[in-house]
Amino acid sequence: MKARFTHLLAGLALAVSGLATQAAEVPVAVAANFTAPMQKIAAEFEKDTGHKALLSFGATGKLYAQIKNGAPFQVFLAADDKTPAKLEIEGDTVPGSRFTYAIGTLVLWSVKPDLVDDQGDVLKKGKFQHLAITNPKTAPYGVAAVATLTKLGLFDTLQSKLVTGENVSQTYQFIFTGNAELGFIALSQVIVDGQMTGGSAWIVPADLHEPIHQDAVILAKGQDQPAAQALVDYLKGEKAKAIIKSYGYAL
């Protein structure tokens, strides 16, 4: 009886050891606009697979520079499709691993409930001191904001009022703290489960800028790393898709 019990304990120890060996950490570079949904996805990913996603957030352009400089990221979730495609051409990704995980939506938002109307006419009236955008040199949402203002014929008029955030998270902070009365950010930053979290907003029509296709890719450092592949597979699954949609992204 004692021998059988000892054998059972040894078997359990071996099983636990096997699970620990299989579970791994995967360093992930994530575009700042995808912060909230990715944090939620990462928590579910760890719960369901045992793997842990180590998340680093920032502007897509800056994350690209870090990857080129040897950062240990295994997976990259960009805010556009051009940057992952560029890394693919440059030989820094696992061939065939790139896919679109979300389509972003640009929104003009203010923490003030009555400032932004649902047609965006507040921009034409210009009765504000500061308009926040994200740096178009490093962030696709900044590119979309500049394109929108240009298409509306307002860029030159409003240029002196622009304040620029390093990424959409900083741009949101400019608006939230009142350093800018309004600004262009990602819809995902002010929506949860399909509901606005407060303030006033104009969802920018998609024809005013290029589509914001957000691509993910396994980087060269993620080659043959089971946790990296598991995360990409998880992002394509129904649970992750439901979370992504709940933050206002299209799929």
pLDDT tens by residue, 19-59: 444 789 999 999 999 999 999 999 999 999 999 999 999 99
Q: Domain 24-103+213-246 - what CATH class?
A: alpha beta
Residues of the chain with CATH 3.40.190.10: 24-103+213-246, 104-208
- The bridge status of strand 182-186 relative to strand 131-134 is parallel
Reported as a single tens digit per residue, the pLDDT across 184-239 is 999 999 998 778 889 999 999 999 999 999 999 999 999 999 999 999 999 999 99
CATH number, domain 104-208, options 1.20.1440.120, 2.60.120.260, 3.40.190.10, 3.30.450.40: 3.40.190.10
Q: H helices of 99-220, where?
A: 122-125, 140-151, 155-158, 168-176
Which structure tokens are listed for 203?
A: 């969802």
Reported as a single tens digit per residue, the pLDDT across 98-114 is 999 999 999 999 999 99
- The amino acid that residue 155 corresponds to is F
